[in-house]
Structure 1
Amino acid sequence: MRSLFSVTLLLLLALTLTAEASRRAKHHKGRDDKTRTASECSPAETRYGKCIPEHGDCGDGVRDATCKDHTDKIPCKIPCNWKKDISDCKYKFGPWGNCDATTNTKTRSGTLKRALFNAECQATVKVSKPCSPKVKKVKGEKKSN
């Protein structure tokens, strides 16, 4: 009776450990690729490709990480509010300019803060967006009725 109890206890322990290991593997998918590439080469030796989203033009995707003669696909993510052509570059932007009445757009420029994954980035960029239809009030101005 005691041996049956011991065997049952061992099986229960093994089942619990197996379930825990599979649960950890699900939550940490894709991390082995990153650590393997990083351990083989220094960051300066590794060349990263552009992040290509799996669906649409933003969200989760993959990029090539090339080191020596070995290329791995590693997971990456493109934030949905970033422009495609500057997605691997971080810029510090100034305030939006005034609305251009002829094109109905306003622009602002940004200077390069840092490049992610050894990306080739422009030193300065200009972005534009449509002007809002609402006219903002100046502080202290009262409503006119």
Structure 2
Amino acid sequence: MRGLLSVTLLLLLLLTLSCEASRRNKNHKAGKHDKTRPTSDCPPAETQYGKCVPEHGDCGDGLRDAACREQSDKIHCRIPCNWKKDISDCKYKFAPWGSCGADTNTKSRSGTLKRALFNAECEASVTVSKPCVPKVKKTRGEKKTN
């Protein structure tokens, strides 16, 4: 009887361990990268960063080179899909959009440098422009069209 009890407890223990292992595997996200940076003895001030290169297309998750002394490794980065590619590592404080130019049909605004990310070389001020889109005023009771 004691033998049957110990075999039952052993099987129960094995069943519990296998359930825990399968639960851990379910929580693992397939195809996702581990975004933790490996520990390094280099201080961030000495590390030189390259440009962020997206894995697919021209925006989204990507990789950038990080080099310090003789060490070089790739770290994860992200380029927002609605951001300008040439100033992606520089953060600017922008003024409000200007009025629409009648001859070019574009409006522009200027920005001054707020912060440079990853030791990037940034211009002190930039000007960005975008096409003008006329605002359509809706009357009361008008339904949205899809």
| Category of TM-score, reference length = shorter chain | 0.7 to 0.9
- CA deviation digits over 1:55-89, x for unaligned, max 9? 11111111111121111111111111100001111
Q: CA deviation at 1:6?
A: 2.5
Q: CA deviation at 1:53?
A: 0.7
1:14 paired residue number? 17
2:144 paired residue number? none
Q: Secondary structure at the match of 1:44?
A: helix
Structure with the larger helix share: 1
Q: State the TM-score, normalized to the length of structure 2.
A: 0.79
- CA deviation digits over 1:79-120, x for unaligned, max 9? 111000011111110011111111111110001111111111
Distance 1:12 1:45, change over 3 A: farther
Q: CA deviation at 1:18?
A: 2.9
- CA deviation digits over 1:14-71, x for unaligned, max 9? 3244335445654884234x142xx321111111111111111111111111121111
Given the alignment of the two structures, is residue 92 of structure 1 paired with residue 93 of structure 2, yes or no?
yes
Identity over aligned residues, as a percent?
62
Structure 2 portions without partners, runs of 5+: 138-146
Deviates more, 1:1-10 or 1:65-74: 1-10
Structure 1 portions without partners, runs of 5+: 137-145
CA–CA separation in structure 2 for the residues paired with 1:127 and 1:54: 26
RMSD over aligned CA atoms reads: 2.3
1:5 paired residue number? 8
Given the alignment of the two structures, is residue 31 of structure 1 paired with residue 35 of structure 2, yes or no?
yes
Q: State the TM-score, normalized to the length of structure 1.
A: 0.79
Distance 1:134 1:121, change over 3 A: same
CA–CA separation in structure 1 for the residues paired with 2:71 and 2:28: 24
1:58 paired residue number? 59
**Larger Cα-atom Rg:** 2
The one-letter amino acid of 1:9's match is: L
CA–CA separation in structure 2 for the residues paired with 1:101 and 1:135: 18
Give aligned pairs, total: 133
Q: Is the 8 A contact 1:30 1:74 kept in 2?
A: no
